[in-house]
Amino acid sequence: MTREMMLGTQAATVKAAPAAALDTIVADVIVVFMTEGGVAAGMAAEVDRATGGLLTRLADSGDLTGKRYETVPLLAPPHLKAGQLLVVGLGKREEVDLGTCFRAAATAARIVAARPRAKVAFLRESFWSDAQAEQAVAGAITGMVGQDLYRAEKKRTPFGETLWIGTSTEAVARGTILGDGVNLARYLVNLPPDDLYPESFAEQAATVAGQTGMEVEIWDEHRLSREGCRAMLAVGRGSVRPPRLVLLTYRGRGGDTPPDLALVGKGVTFDSGGLSLKPSEGMLTMKCDMAGGATMLAAAATIATLKLPINLVAAIGLVENMTGPAAYKLGDVITARSGTTIEIHNTDAEGRVVLADVLDVVRGLGPQRIVDAATLTGACVVALGLDVAGLFTNDQPLCDAVADAARAMGEPVWQLPMFPEYDEQIKSEVADIKNVGEGRWGGAITAAKFLERFVGSIPWTHVDIAGPAFAEKPKPWIDGGGTGTLVRTLVTLAQRLSQ
């Protein structure tokens, strides 16, 4: 298995290295992980011995606790050939999971990457499984990259070389691919809308497909018209930049059988709200409204690079929602590709209108199951906050599989109900359905109910990532901006489905 440097990732050398005496490791920084009260155990104990009891003295004075994501930098540590030793807390040993390993390593990398480093060595914790080590490698890859794509003076600088001491080559290779995938999604979300619009996003997707061996098909506005994708075209009418539909195919099992899994992403590269215009403060971060599409592109690219034995299709609907003279209007009735008529009550509820056509295209491919991701509703943020994605489904086993994968990766999700009573709220007096529910109540659910109309009987789960897809403020393990949420979850889901 080889690492593909996917578009948007920043090239850096990441290597596995055999366990070695600590006083022989030459690096700018050595990173060691420690559990609560864990100075006498694991790699922390070895570092403590090598430094003449330095960690024990700091623990005794209360300056070193091992609490989760605590970071203690120690300059010029005695008896080590490193300018700095960084001790990173993992919390209680019995509570360390895959998500903890990812975030702890990302926290360390984010701190160390605040200035250029030629070589950084991470000491694999002795009780980690290969899966935990893999997630730690991925976390370090993401932590060293920020959102400062256009700054002359970068806030984060990827390390020239990263060594993972005592970690297998396979775990390092897989972790690096996962980290690159998360960074690809973050990179796309962080691009400004003048650089990332439907056509340029489609070009980026084609480049990624070429790098990772996926087949790619791009529908321009003429093909969309021939295919009857009138919903997508309606949303895009207000922009001088026409819509695109990207279809990516990966055949990890071989053959021409229907896909085992379809990934569908909302790709509104900028959302002004259309004629239902957003206020300025609500519009500022709307470059992130394509995060669902970025997530699905990155997940598909990662699955292909890992060569998972699964047949996959990914579909991304790309539009700009603008206010030009041809913009779609409140009261318009649009006939979607499926033949369903949609009355427009709010042009800022455009993502579901776009996905109506994309889901119908995917349904025609006959996948065994569909998962879509979209920054769909502010109502989901009201319900669940900024850190939790909402789950909605017509098939409980699939939803459970998505939720289990998310929990394993430490990406919080929560299922909301899909009772039949919510269907009543999207019925229209003049068309089959309308694109918003009755008033403000249950808005995330009525949006999901809208999407459900376009998947037929195929098992389907919708993930509303409006909260966690974009961080307006940094967290210990990641800079502000695009987060790459759900990429690791979807890769894990594909791994489990392929077993």
Whether residue 178 is found in the same domain as residue 207: no
Whether residue 264 is found in the same domain as residue 397: yes
pLDDT at 7: 59
Q: Are the C-beta atoms of residues 452 and 460 closer than 8 Å to each other? A: yes
Whether residue 174 is found in the same domain as residue 203: no
Residue 335 β-bridge partners: 341
Is 258 within the bounds of a domain?
Answer: yes
Strand 244-251 vs strand 215-219: parallel, antiparallel, or unpaired?
antiparallel
Whether residue 122 is found in the same domain as residue 47: yes
Residue 39, pLDDT above cutoff 80: yes
Average pLDDT over residues 162-182: 97
Residue 76, pLDDT above cutoff 60: yes
Whether residue 125 is found in the same domain as residue 246: no
Is 392 within the bounds of a domain?
Answer: yes
pLDDT at 10: 56
**Domain extent at residue 215:** 191-497
Residue 5, pLDDT above cutoff 70: no
pLDDT at 453: 98
Is 3 within the bounds of a domain?
Answer: no
Is 5 within the bounds of a domain?
Answer: no
Is 4 within the bounds of a domain?
Answer: no
Is 285 within the bounds of a domain?
Answer: yes
CA-nearest of 361, 358, 255, 234 to 310 is 255
| The last residue of a domain, from among 165, 184, 203 | 184
Phi, psi of 423 (to 5 degrees): -60, -30
Whether residue 352 is found in the same domain as residue 203: yes
- For residue 24, the domain's CATH number is 3.40.220.10
Average pLDDT over residues 408-435: 97
pLDDT tens column, 211-224: 999 999 999 999 99
Whether residue 286 is found in the same domain as residue 406: yes
pLDDT at 8: 54
Which residues have C-beta within 8 Å of that of residue 275, sequence separation ≥ 6?
238, 323, 327, 328, 329, 330, 347
Residue 499, pLDDT above cutoff 60: yes
pLDDT tens column, 365-376: 999 999 999 999
pLDDT at 255: 87
pLDDT band at 439 (very low <50, low <70, confident <90, very high): confident
Residue 6, pLDDT above cutoff 70: no
User: Percent of the chain scored above 90 by pLDDT?
Assistant: 95
The helix (run of H) or strand (run of E) holding residue 359 is helix 351-363
pLDDT band at 3 (very low <50, low <70, confident <90, very high): low
Is 6 within the bounds of a domain?
Answer: no
pLDDT at 256: 87
- Average pLDDT of the chain to the nearest whole number: 96
Q: Are the C-beta atoms of residues 316 and 296 closer than 8 Å to each other? A: yes
pLDDT at 462: 99
Whether residue 218 is found in the same domain as residue 339: yes
Is 481 within the bounds of a domain?
Answer: yes
Average pLDDT over residues 168-189: 97
Higher-pLDDT residue of 41 and 367 is 367
Whether residue 79 is found in the same domain as residue 202: no
Q: Are the C-beta atoms of residues 41 and 189 closer than 8 Å to each other? A: no
User: Residues 373-401, buried b or exposed e (16+ Cβ, 10 A)?
Assistant: bbbbbbbbbebbeeebbbbbbbbeebbeb
- For residue 382, the domain's CATH number is 3.40.630.10
Q: Count up the domains in the chain and report the number.
A: 2
Q: Are the C-beta atoms of residues 359 and 455 closer than 8 Å to each other? A: yes
Residue 11, pLDDT above cutoff 80: no
pLDDT tens column, 476-490: 999 999 999 999 999
Q: Are the C-beta atoms of residues 416 and 363 closer than 8 Å to each other? A: no
Write down the catalytic residue from 110, 266, 352, 434: 352
Whether residue 164 is found in the same domain as residue 226: no
Q: Which amino acid is at 168?
A: S
pLDDT band at 440 (very low <50, low <70, confident <90, very high): confident
pLDDT tens column, 223-235: 999 999 999 999 9
What CA–CA distance (Å, rounded) separates 478 from 188?
Answer: 16
Write down the catalytic residue from 49, 93, 154, 278: 278
Residue 1, pLDDT above cutoff 80: no
Whether residue 261 is found in the same domain as residue 244: yes
Whether residue 161 is found in the same domain as residue 272: no
| The last residue of a domain, from among 130, 151, 184 | 184
Active site residue 251: no
| The last residue of a domain, from among 162, 184, 206 | 184
Strand 460-464 vs strand 389-393: parallel, antiparallel, or unpaired?
antiparallel
Instruction: Please give the biggest Cα pair distance in the chain.
Output: 79
Active site residue 352: yes
Strand 311-321 vs strand 244-251: parallel, antiparallel, or unpaired?
antiparallel
